[in-house]
Chain A
Amino acid sequence: QKEVEQDPGPLSVPEGAIVSLNCTYSNSAFQYFMWYRQYSRKGPELLMYTYSSGNKEDGRFTAQVDKSSKYISLFIRDSQPSDSATYLCAMKAYNQGGKLIFGQGTELSVKP
């Protein structure tokens, strides 16, 4: 079983839709939770970062962490064609230095 599981999609939605992306994990030591966005032929870029449980909002993006369920989510409101990309969840434990564990990535396409 992978430490981090993410539905690879692909996911296709119409412009303006609310998008929900999710990851589950098995390692209870994870404390830092990230969402990276990766455009085609580019490297991943940090989109959202959350420490421990709770919600974090940044514009149209909301990240949620539920440590009791070992489940994290990224919501995109009013999705735009420019949101079309692969979204990767990543996690880190306090005692693992700089090591990030990534999900498989979800490919999202937002149609005009």
Chain B
Amino acid sequence: EAQVTQNPRYLITVTGKKLTVTCSQNMNHEYMSWYRQDPGLGLRQIYYSMNVEVTDKGDVPEGYKVSRKEKRNFPLILESPSPNQTSLYFCASSLNSGGTYNEQFFGPGTRLTVL
């Protein structure tokens, strides 16, 4: 089944404790992206990757890191989480990032709470 998977689905942690949220897709997509979803603010892009070893900042990158060492995986790293990073996180992928539109497929989400 074509899908985007994320782990963990739920995470409660404390301020400053490094964590990684994994994202994997099995559709051989070049483009991958991380979003956070907050009430009243919709989905905002954190980081994106157009291909292996190519990553760039989105609209809200502060406090996050990413890497893209393999095409299928795009982990999101919070080196020192803070309470304002409490949010619902989504990973998404699409065939490529070309000029025309390519449908973005979303993972099931990771609900993160930072105490």
Contact = CB atoms under 8 A, between A and B. Distances in A.
A43 B109 contact: yes
Interface string A41-56: 1111110010100000
B48 A42 contact: no
Contacts of A46: 103-104
Contacts of A99: 33, 45, 48, 58
Interface residues of B, number: 29
B2 interface: no
Nearest to A93: B99
A41 B9 CA distance: 10
Interface in A61-112: 88, 90, 92, 94-95, 97-100, 102-105
Interface of B: 4, 31, 33, 35, 40-45, 48, 50, 58, 90, 92, 94, 96-104, 106-109
9 closest A-B pairs by beta carbon, nearest first, are A43-B106, A98-B97, A97-B97, A32-B101, A102-B43, A104-B42, A102-B42, A98-B31, A94-B99
